[in-house]
């Protein structure tokens, strides 16, 4: 699956319900992420437009979700790059379930029911640089991990009965579904191809960590 920047921007804008009059500002944010050398394999030769894969679209989606949790683009990229294995595990677990049955019947912009969603989570700790003394580690990176719904519910009891002050999380399963809905020329087959491509991207990353 190959996508242009306009198609990637369109899918991400749709998934995040970006208003039409703010699309220019949204494109600027995406280009800022790229200028931070995220997705370094995206190169454009002179007179040649960049092309993006399904995994590139997914990874930009993850960075934007971390932005939504309060992390700057720089921190969000650092969190993802520090533990790509966690991102790949969450992606593989969510994508391997396949396209949710109701998704292909869902109109663009509407929600759908997702059974047993997969999450990525972390403690944003956005006052990290203001502590006394300043923390020497980024707690968002230190706490970044993945889990299924059952494990998340169990962890909530464990975390907060032992004094954990905060934890933020987002549904990777919902992210995949929203991106699939807003893919250009969306069809049931194209959605399935997107899910399969994300799972295929994650697989070697997972196995490299295990070896």
Work out the average pLDDT over 91-96. 96
- Residue 107: predicted pLDDT: 47
CA 40 – CA 55 distance, rounded (Å): 13
**106-140 pLDDT per residue, tens:** 544 455 678 889 999 999 988 877 776 766 778 89
> Residues 6 or more apart from 210 whose CB is under 8 A from it?
none
Judged against a pLDDT cut of 90, whether residue 186 lies above it is answered with no
- The burial of 26, by beta-carbon neighbours within 10 Å (0-12 exposed, 13-18 middle, 19 or more buried), is given as middle
Query: Residue 2: phi, psi to the nearest 5?
Result: -120, 135
Helix axes 54-68 and 5-15, enclosed angle (nearest 10):
40
Judged against a pLDDT cut of 70, whether residue 7 lies above it is answered with yes
Work out the average pLDDT over 86-90. 97
Coil, strand or helix at 49: coil
What is the domain partition of the chain in residue ranges? Answer: 5-210
**28-37 pLDDT per residue, tens:** 999 999 888 8
Measure the CA dihedral 192/170/10/36, to 10°: -110
CA 193 – CA 99 distance, rounded (Å): 10
Q: Choose between 19 and 37: higher pLDDT.
A: 19
Global pTM value: 0.90
């Amino acid at each position: 699956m190959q996508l242009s920047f306009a198609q990637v921007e369109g899918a991400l804008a749709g998934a995040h319900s970006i208003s039409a009059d703010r699309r220019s500002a949204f494109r600027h944010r995406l280009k800022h992420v790229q200028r931070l050398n995220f997705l370094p394999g995206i190169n454009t030769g002179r007179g040649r437009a960049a092309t993006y894969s399904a995994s590139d679209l997914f990874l930009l989606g993850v960075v934007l979700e971390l932005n939504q949790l309060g992390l700057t683009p720089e921190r969000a990229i650092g969190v993802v790059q520090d533990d790509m294995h966690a991102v790949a595990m969450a992606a593989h677990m969510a994508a391997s379930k396949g396209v949710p049955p109701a998704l292909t019947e869902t109109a663009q912009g509407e929600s759908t029911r997702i059974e047993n969603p997969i999450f990525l989570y972390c403690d944003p700790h956005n006052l990290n640089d203001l502590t006394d003394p300043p923390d020497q580690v980024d707690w968002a990176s230190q706490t970044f991990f993945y889990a299924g719904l059952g494990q998340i519910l169990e962890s909530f009891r464990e975390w907060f009965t032992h004094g954990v002050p905060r934890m933020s999380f987002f549904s990777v399963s919902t992210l995949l579904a929203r991106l699939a809905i807003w893919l250009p020329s969306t069809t049931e087959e194209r959605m399935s191809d997107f899910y399969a491509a994300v799972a295929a991207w994650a697989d070697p990353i997972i196995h490299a960590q295990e070896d």
